Chains A and B, each alone.
Chain A
Amino acid sequence: MTKNPVQNQPLVKYEKVSKKFDNLEVLKGLDLEINQGERVALIGPSGSGKTTIIRMLMTLEEPTSGVIKVDGNPLWHKEVNGKLVPADENHLRKIRGDIGMVFQQFNLFPHMTILRNVTEAQVHVKGTPNDEAEKRAITMLEKVGLGEKIDAYPLQLSGGQQQRVAIARAVVMQPKIMLFDEVTSALDPELVGEVLEVIKEIAKESDMAMILVTHEMDFARDVADRIVFLHGGLIEEQGSPKEILENPQSPRLQSFLKRFLSTT
Chain B
Amino acid sequence: MWDNINVYFDILHKLLPAGWMTIKILITSALLTYLIAFIAGLGRVSQFSIIRTLTLIYVELFRGTSLLVQMFWIFFALPAFGVEFSAFWAGVLALSLNYGAYASEVVRGSILAIPKTQTEASIALNMTRWQRLKLVILPQAFRIMLPGLGNNSIELLKGTSLVSLITLGDLTYRGLIIQNTNLSYTVPVFILLLILYFIIALPLIILVRRLEASASKGVAKV
| A interface residues with partner B (beta carbon < 8 Å) | 58-60, 89, 93, 96-97, 99-101, 103, 105, 107-113, 120-121, 124-125, 153-156, 169-170, 173
Contact = CB atoms under 8 A, between A and B. Distances in A.
B218 A111 contact: yes
B218 A107 contact: no
Contact of B219 (A110, A125, A173): A110
A138 to B, nearest CB: 18
Which of B122, B123, B124, B143 has most A Cβ within 10 Å?
Answer: B124
Interface stretch (B7-15, B21-29, B99-107, B113-121): B113-121
A111 B140 contact: yes
Contacts, number: 73
Contacts of A125: 125-127, 131
Contact of B118 (A99, A109, A155, A169): A109
The 4 closest A-B pairs by CB, nearest first: A153-B218, A121-B125, A107-B121, A101-B124
A113 B129 CA distance: 22
Contacts of B125: 100, 120-121, 125, 169-170, 173
A97 B219 CA distance: 29
Given A109-B118, A111-B140, A58 B222 contact: no
The residue among A59, A105, A111, A112 with the most chain B CB atoms within 10 A of its own CB is A111
Contacts of B219: 110-111, 153, 155
Interface in B118-155: 118, 120-129, 131, 135-136, 139-140, 143
B121 A109 contact: yes
A170 B124 contact: yes
A125 B131 CA distance: 9
Looking at chain B, what size class is its interface with the partner chain?
Answer: 20 to 34
Given A93-B128, A107-B121, 14 more contacts: A58-B120, A58-B123, A109-B118, A110-B140, A111-B140, A111-B143, A113-B218, A121-B127, A125-B126, A125-B131, A155-B219, A169-B125, A170-B124, A170-B125
Contacts of A124: 127, 131, 135
Contacts of A107: 117-118, 120-121
Contacts of A99: 124
Interface of B: 117-118, 120-129, 131, 135-136, 139-140, 143, 217-219, 222
A58 B124 CA distance: 6
A155 B219 CA distance: 7
Nearest to A152: B218
Given A113-B218, A120-B135, A153-B217, A108 B127 contact: no
B218 A59 contact: no
A155 B218 contact: yes
Nearest to A123: B135
B139 A111 contact: yes
Contacts of A173: 125-126
Q: Which of B118, B126, B135, B140 has the most CB of A within 10 A?
A: B126
A173 B125 CA distance: 8
Given A111-B140, A125-B131, A96 B117 contact: no
B144 to A, nearest CB: 11
B128 A103 contact: no
